[in-house]
Amino acid sequence: MSLKKYSAEHVWLEPHGDGTATVGITVHAQDALGDVVFVDLPAVGATFEAGAVAAVVESVKAAADVYMPASGTVLAVNEDLRADPALANSAPLDAGWFFKVQLSNPAELDKLLDETAYAALPQ
């Protein structure tokens, strides 16, 4: 079973056990967007509340906001994704991650969905 947690906005968060987590978009999100051509990643050091827009993804079909699944401060961004936005399509759950955060309220993770609950959402 995956450690990833999911938001209803099709963003995943993988906690690392040390108060940090990695964030990206789900397979459903990249399917809905189509070919990703640009990602606007947050600045390292930026702080976001849960639900705030932290990044933007642009595809050949549309642009979409990436909502912060849990409050925190950005520790790193995926420069490989910035250089090759198609990673969001080819490897959305691993190499296509967006950013890493220091969680400011780890209890917010309890509000996110596990893989089974996410899969049960109407897509």
Q: Where are the domains of the chain?
A: 5-106
Q: Which amino acid, 86?
A: A
58 is written with which tokens?
């642009």
Q: Which amino acid, 76?
A: A
Structure pTM? 0.96
Name residue, tokens 């910035």.
82
What integer pLDDT is reported at residue 2 of this predicted model? 59
Asked if the model's pLDDT at residue 20 lies above 90, the reply is yes
Mean pLDDT of the chain: 96
What distance in Å separates the CA atoms of residue 47 and residue 78, rounded to the nearest whole number? Answer: 17
Asked if the model's pLDDT at residue 9 lies above 80, the reply is yes
Instruction: Report the Cα–Cα distance between both ends of the chain, in Å, rounded.
Output: 21
Asked if the model's pLDDT at residue 1 lies above 80, the reply is no
Q: What confidence tens digit (pLDDT) does each residue in 30-82 have?
A: 999 999 999 999 999 999 999 999 999 999 999 999 999 999 999 999 999 99
What CATH fold (topology level) applies to the domain 5-106?
A: OB fold (Dihydrolipoamide Acetyltransferase, E2P) (2.40.50)
Q: What confidence tens digit (pLDDT) does each residue in 81-123 have?
A: 999 999 999 999 999 999 999 999 999 999 999 999 999 998 7
74 is written with which tokens?
């950005």
